Structure 1
Amino acid sequence: MGTSRPLPPGLRDELITTELGQALELLASEQADVSPLDKSEAIERLGKHLLRVARRMRSPSSGDDLVTSAEVVNDAIRALGDEFGGDHLQVPLRVLRGVRSGTGLAGSALPQHPAIPLSASELMVNGAGEPSLGSVLKQELGCADEVDLICAFVGYKGIEALRPDLRALAERGGRIRVITSTYLGSTSRKALDDLVSLGAEVRVNYQGMVTKLHAKAWLFRRPGELDTAFIGSSNLSEAALYTGLEWNVRLARADAPTVFNRIHQVFDSYWNTASFEQYSLADADRLDAALAEARGFAAQGFSRRAQRTIDKLNDQLEAAYARIQVRARPHQQRVLDALATRRGEFDEHQHLIVAATGTGKTVMAALDYAALGAAAGAVRPTLLFVAHREQILAQARETFRQVLQDPGFGELLSGSSGPLPRDAHVFAMVQTLRNRLGSIPPTAYDVIYVDEAHHSTADSWDSVVRHFAPRELVGLTATPERTDGADITDLFGGRYTTELRLWEAVDDQLLAPFEYVGVDDGTDLRDLAWHSGDYAVGALSELYTGDHERVRRIVHAIHRWVEHPGSMRALGFCVTIAHAQFMAEQFTQHGLKADYLVGDHDQTQRDRVLGRLMAGQLQVVFSVDVLGEGIDVPDVDTLLLCRPTQSPVLFAQQLGRGLRLAPGKATCLVLDFIGQHRAEYRFEQRYQALVNPSAGDIRTQAEAGFPFLPAGCSITLERVARERVLTALKRVAVRPGVSGLLKDFKTGTWPSLESFLHRTGRTVEQFYGVDNRKMSWTRLQREAKSADAPAEPSSPSMRDEEVLLLRRASYLQHVADAMRVNRWFDWLKADEPVSAGELSIAEQRLAMQLMHCLLMKPHTLEEGFNKLWRHPAVRDEIAELLTLNRADLDVSPVPLLGLADVSLMAHARYTRAEVFAALGVGTVERPKEHREGVYFVEHSRVQLMFVTLHKDTRKFSSTIQYRDHALTPDLFHWETPNNWRQESRGTQRCIGQGPEGSTHRLLFVRERSSGPVEGTFRCFGLVDRHGDLEGDRPVAITWKLRSPLPEVAFESARLVTAG
């Protein structure tokens, strides 16, 4: 045992040993930051510790020492138990170097071992005295069963160098998969053609300038866990393989098994992503055009060959459109799913879609119309698309034509188009429509889309929209919050149907990445007047206008964070016209050319000012709040947030003005100037626009430095700004207590919990989480002494019983499917308790699910119902919550066909206890207790699989994250418990083999182990085995889902976003 030495200060990450424990005793108690070992990573940590100790063993100098060393290892294995008996080392120690395919003359020669042993890792640099990357790749190809390559650029010379080895691999039945893209136009089409001719499978991302694929990696797959990989700097070119100064790490699975799992999974995830498209020789013309455009030829036209192809297709227009395939990006698909859910589940047919400019609102409308048309059958629904500019109409019609693959679809109706078209599909200017309403029947169009729907409250738009009575009405807008306070939802069902959030659009690469910087502006707003949930505009403007020190701080921040301020194109958002004018004057005095635009400026003045900005004659244009679409300038690369904005919608609108994609624009810099705010100011609301809520609450993400942002994005808070933001976020964590709720409650009249939450900006989860999940709508009404508050029970025991049931009502936040909500709602609103004896088997199981959610554990269902009926306030509370849940339903659950009396639906959420109750496992008094990931229901031969995607929300760890994940909406990668082999009873039963095999398999997946919604399992439905089993201990199985996942479920379960 070594002598304990003082431990230097700094971060550590190691198990505490006897020696380390002695060193810790020399420290003061508060010096050491120690935490218990998390169970989910214990095995990996213990194994690494044992390996670290073993590596310090003395090298054996004789045969006897070898035997002794082997016995030490065998003793350790023996201590693990009999199930590891097959892992004992045989003595004398020998190494298996290969297995031939036959014996004698029929036996095949073994391939040459690579220069680097298959079990070793190394750094390759093409250095003197060491093998080149190209030579080692040849050796790896010679002994691999399969090879995967992901590479930004595939060059012809690189393929030429490896051609014989690739051909040999293909000829012996090996699979070759290649992923690449058109990024920068550097890939050789001839190289891809050669790969395809060799038998390789090639997938290409044609949106190279959007996806920006930089990855370079080879993965060589072999049996016996002898996979190897090369990850580093080398593209597939001759220089990279032999002469370039390259760094590539050669990894062996034996050294880093968890990293290899991650490599396999990420590659397979990319491979199954729709944005990487299968390439064949028939796609050569399309690839040529994409490569030419990526090389910068787009402004001058495509390459000659590509142009000839386009000319030829223009002569055959139908063929040209037939080749166009428009697919929704992932988050666009979530919007389309939401529309379908509201129509199918709720019979709602007036909708408002909120999405930032540039996120493809028209594409979503066209895809939505295509789905409506497919459901309608042979005759397409009649269509009216309304906008206020002819250019928008022409672009919209072209988008619809591409989506529908119909070059003749739709006619324009504008001021210059003459009489009303006879076509049943019309793209019309609102001004022209208004003048012709008298000749158009209200029911003339089945489907109407209103572009820039924020105009709909204006008289010219209002009369048009109200004139028609379509089956489907959909408004599209990027700016739902108008500066005149008008409510645009009035014409579209009274609410936003769905919103494409800013971080989703950036994640989908529909918008440019952002670099957000929070800067202290030196102001103190704590004593500023506060009205209707925000600062008084007049007082705020008076404070800012004339604050020359604040201007100096803003200018200083620009010079610090903008590389070339003289060439930036910036928009600045101000409080009032006076503030915008003041900022423009001050910036000009500081040497930055600036002007301002406000709502009173006409289009000519707007065009002039914005034209000067784009020409580089101005560096900044200031405006008040967010102007309409007239200020939409894709080339804007900097945003100056010179006023506080806590509304997440308005904040997103401001940011959306700078995130449009444009040639040469990599990111948009957002400088947010932060003062010292009142306690009421809510930072967490504005940051909701920037971050994915599934990555954790805003405070946790802020404290960690916002690590989980879309690719290319960053959030930086300067020191003082960070302190202020974190202080405010910590205050928020405390503020929504009982006193905060009471204060908000007394500001208005609330007919329902839904109205209260909507007006105060709270979620259901935030409300019920108050006071350690003891809050309820009933309690709040009583403590606020509301006239509508339900009466309290008369006896102390009844009051105690009611308090407990009201608290448990919050456990129903995940219940939103029609099967449970409708049945439970009917029961709860009945005058008399439900008679359990009159219920069918499926209804009894539904009743058990309700009792289990409320943790009641009555002796019988009858007793449980009687207990609920003693408390009408509890039943009303549950009904109120179920109504809220149902209204926020994000997907349409699907029935499980083939399972009799099972009260489950695919895509709905359940607790474990509910799952078992639905399958008749356990009783109402004793719910089934089971915490493992697999369970076999004997009486119905149903195999249950429970998956938690993120085992530990506090940190990222490859050993516990991503082992189970969705590959595509209908394929799911799942791994058995660690000790299962392919021939194990559990594995065979799971895949339905043998006399004990399962007849049905149900998969349940949750995001994490805690949380009222995310901590419950979403039923992914019935699954079937897809392809072969892979590996042992654990066994990897790919399941085919009978009901493909909706986008919101796929998004949370997939491993990684790719393109």
Structure 2
Amino acid sequence: MNPNDSFSDSILSGFVNQAAFPSLDEYSPQLLTNSEEETVKSHIDQELRTCTSFTFAVAFISNAVLTDLKVQFADLASRNVSGKILTSTYLVFNQPKVFEELLKIPNVEVRILDQATNFHAKGYIFEQSDHTSIIIGSSNLTSNALIKNYEWNLQLSSKDKGALTQQIQFQIELQFKHAQSLTSEWIEKYRKYYVENELTQKSNSLTPFQQRSQSEILPNKMQKHALKELQSLRANHGKRGLIISATGTGKTYLGAFDVRNFAPKKFLFIVHREQILKNALASFRRVIGGAESDFGILSGNSKNTTSRYLFATIQSISRDENLRNFAKNEFDYILIDEAHKTGANSYQRVINYFHPDFLLGMTATPERTDDFNIYELFDHNVAYEIRLQEAIESDLLSQFHYIGITDYEYNGQSIEDNTPLRNLISEERMNYVEQQLNYYGYDGDKIHGLIFCSRKDEAQEIASIMTKKGNPTVALTSDDSISKREQVVDQFEKGIFNYIVTVDIFNEGIDIPKINQVVMLRNTTSSIIFIQQLGRGLRKAPNKNFVTIIDFIGNYKNNYLIPIALTGDNTRNKNNLRSKVAFNQTIGLSSINFSEIARERIFNAINNSNLTLLTMLRDSYTSLKNQIGRVPYLLDFQKLGSVDADVFINKYDNYHQFLLKMKDAESLSTTENGFLTLISREFSNGMRIHELLLLKKLLANEGTYSKNQFLKDLHNQKTYSDPKTIASMQNHLNLSYFLPNDRKRYGNSSFLKLNEVNYELNMKVVNLYNTHEYFKNLIDDALNIGFLKNHNFDLQVPLTLYQKYTRRHVNRLIGWPTDQSSAIYGYREKDGICPIFVTYHKDKNLPAGKSHNNVFFNSSTLSWFTKIPRKLDSGEVVRLFEGNYNDTIKLLLFVKKSDDEGSDFYFMGQVDFDFNTVEQQSRIVNGKEKPVVKVNLKLRTPVKYDLYLDLSN
């Protein structure tokens, strides 16, 4: 296959006739816009991953998107790849801060055109190994333009000698000659010019926080919704309610708005720390208004008990001598902040004593590590819930840019769980930390950084070292008094300290909106704590558009918790987690970025972890059971974003077996358990709707259903109903498809019969379904999971492009009459179909004869090898070649990146042999030369570009 022909066909497909010319995604011209599926920035990220050099010509640059790109620039620098950025002072948009950050990037040459040139270009050029990729259109180098705004950009490819490439290169060189080099001296001159244009500066840099009116406090979108739900809860005679709201989304103001609506005769606000009381009181007074005497504090330093709106620490209000000062019905509205702490004896004493008309709890993290059920305490009334990811997308919090980079390697050894203190605070490591903090920077005029480490002695040493390096830093630990902490925070907010180093005391209950850099110098041991610590920087503040999160990732076993925490993905599905790490993620205008080495460490942690340990699944089960107030089913897990149903089924065969472990199960007969296992293991994945639909119809019609009507039902579902598939469905339900071990697992009894006109379900199953409610619920649940998951698949074809399948799944879906998946190995031909399974990155420990070097030459061509020993005239090879040439054998390609990713393969569609590339080769196996045939596979549908990059890199 001539690569130049592929390139030409792609160009002609885009500009002349799409139907007449086959195209490759990496060469095809395409329009780039921002959508939920992809963004302009995602294409820039992809091009940067593989380029040999790059040039950006953009008028406007924002610090936020530059922070994101620094990770990739650093990775490129490690490969000696450099680039150029040509920008301008047009409209005085670019802040001096942006130029300061650009100057930090060693492998990027930056030049600036003066405003008088009216430079307003928006182009991105990437030199690849065999072509030039170009993105030109409307998007500047800003977060809004690359992620959010409706933009039009054309991405196209050109060869080095192409006229378009030469024109662009000429223009870039011409402008570079006239542009000024970026230097510290130039930045100082520009800063003065920028300040002189202060009005322009303000119009360009105002944050939503600054634009908001300060004269009147109005509910935000989240608060309006929550207030409506709280009112509805009370209208339905609810006496207790729980608000789950991410840190910084305005829980305190929400409480104040609801108290104003409720208009209590007397109100009690309970919090666990005294330093929060004054801020909470001030917020309530701003919303509610009234005399100063209406608001009082009950704490160690104040003994007010008579004010209408009383704000108390739990330590004070829970004392017997204080409780006895109040009647049990003294307060008609009680609000508990940080309600996840209510399992403590002090809280229980207060809650059990008072009888308010309404009790409200508010928390960002209702998950508990003990056995206390916070949901039960509040009558399972979750009035409103908004988690971190949704809050960021709704612009309730400050944007964040997470940077996951590798920690320092000391004498070639990575930082690990048991690394001694002397290595953690070594001069080499602290120099490395300082370099990274400076490189990735912060947003705003001055650094306000918070550093989390794992040990008190480490915190003290880090503070001392950083102070000596010119960054005034103080350490705070649990050894420090409340007054000391308050004093340090006050000094920090005034700019006396650049950094606070702490261990765990700032995980929650502290409000410092100015924080614009959060540094994680410790192992992630809990996704809850991770989010709490990240959340310290998410409050909005003047002159702060985003917070930079810099995570130093060592060689830790728990690194798999990072994507769980950042994305909120608690499915415990490794495929899901890997996909979250493979490419940079965006949440609204916030972003998640990993360096290449850090990404590899997280991949390794995911691959080596056991995410389905019984203790982990029990925690998830208990949490969901507490939340909904009953035994949860698989559908509850799936709909509420918790553990993926496949995890339970793959580990336990069916959900009943897991419920036995939880001691929440009734007994099932062998027939019941076998039928449930069959549905769970074979059909609940939703890959084929036929068995699900037939079973649903049979169970709803006392076990009998017309075959003709069923075929009409399939037609109405707009799915395929060829004889091979219908026969396969029947063989699955009468168990003739399965090998003896599976038939035994499913009860060794046929569940389906077909007479002349009707399908008939085993009547024993029908009777049990109608009389045993527990069994019925489990069967309905397994079927419903299948219908829900079926939305992920194309109903019109047996196999959906780019979905993942095991050999066992493929054997079933292509309609083979019996299960032969264990004998497929790399490929197997039967009944005119030959599935081919390719592991792209082979295990290095494989014997030489089995380690073929599969290579994607482009998104439409993959090298492939037959089994060993095979020659060109071997019967199997001749049959496959002739069958493909005559179109009597359909070749289906399935690819996975490595064996670390489990047994699932991406379906790449139908392929053909490129007969111009057939070669007879040989391999040395056990010291003997064995023949093998090599040939390229041509994909009828080119691999989508992001998947192509992921597999081939």
- Category of TM-score, reference length = shorter chain: 0.3 to 0.5
TM-score by length of 2: 0.47
TM-score in terms of structure 1 length = 0.43
